Structure 1
């Protein structure tokens, strides 16, 4: 039997055996709908994965943040105690107002230095992003 002959007339038995061997032919529309369905499944799975990941990070992060807040509060209290101690220690030497002025002056100078350092860092960051926008 010559299957390449254009005048070939296949019987019903030949078609059923051909279907068993060859993959089922789908239309392009069926393929597009299957692709869209697969894409939707992928997106839903990815969203669920990211939700689970975010919940895990939040669970671990909230306890870390709580410890960080407590540490910050304790450091802050230690610095307040240092400032008060410095004023008390300097009071017999230069008086209460002099000790207060010295401690406040040192804190203002240190605060200005840190503020200017932060400004320089942010200026460098802004310059780096300005170069990428051009």
Structure 2
């Protein structure tokens, strides 16, 4: 059987046939258009309200996180100070032991008074050098922290 061009043509729809938009009710009347705008506006307000709620939730979570973090850091600072004080105490004890040992070791060579003088002068020299270094570091820090206008006034 042979297919002809006349067989492939689609006949026009009947006059009483409704379009798909008419069947589904997709036609928008002016009242329906204003309802859509109101719904979109309501949806926009809902979206903004949801955004504000999300922002509040985020801020609350961030504050909670920062409080926990600060608490942790505070706890670690306390431990650091405690261990530092104990370490400094043992360092002082070790220095006293070294001092006594040096005096005992030097006594046969230069008498007890001579050994004491040598050890004390050595410790005073070390303290003087460290104090000078601390003073230089303080001066550098204060220079770095001063503003340029203060340098002109002081300089």
TM-score class, shorter: 0.5 to 0.7
The 5 A counterparts of 1:107-126 are 107-126=123-142
Q: Which residue of 2 aligns with 1:60?
A: 76
Displacement after TM superposition at 1:41 (Å): 6.5
1:50 maps to 2:63: no
Question: Structure 1: any 5+ residue segments left out of the alignment?
Answer: 1-9
Q: Which residue of 2 aligns with 1:87?
A: 103
Q: Which residue of 1 aligns with 2:94?
A: 78
Larger RCO (CA within 8 A; separation ≥ 6) = 1
TM-score, length basis structure 2: 0.59
Q: 1:18 aligns with which of 34, 37, 43?
A: 37
Secondary structure at the counterpart of residue 87 of structure 2: helix
Question: Structure 2: any 5+ residue segments left out of the alignment?
Answer: 1-28, 150-155
Q: Which residue of 2 aligns with 1:96?
A: 112
Larger Rg: 2
Aligned partners of 1:129 and 1:58: how far apart in 2? 26
Deviation digits for residues 30-56 of structure 1 (CA, Å, limit 9, x no counterpart): x8xx97x88776665544332211111
Displacement after TM superposition at 1:82 (Å): 0.2
Sort the Cα spacing of 1:133 and 1:39 in 2 relative to 1 into closer, same or farther, 3 A: farther
Displacement after TM superposition at 1:72 (Å): 2.0
Displacement after TM superposition at 1:68 (Å): 2.5
**Count of residues in Structure 1 that have an aligned counterpart in Structure 2:** 116
TM-score, length basis structure 1: 0.67
- CA RMSD of superposed structures (Å): 2.9
Aligned partners of 1:85 and 1:69: how far apart in 2? 24
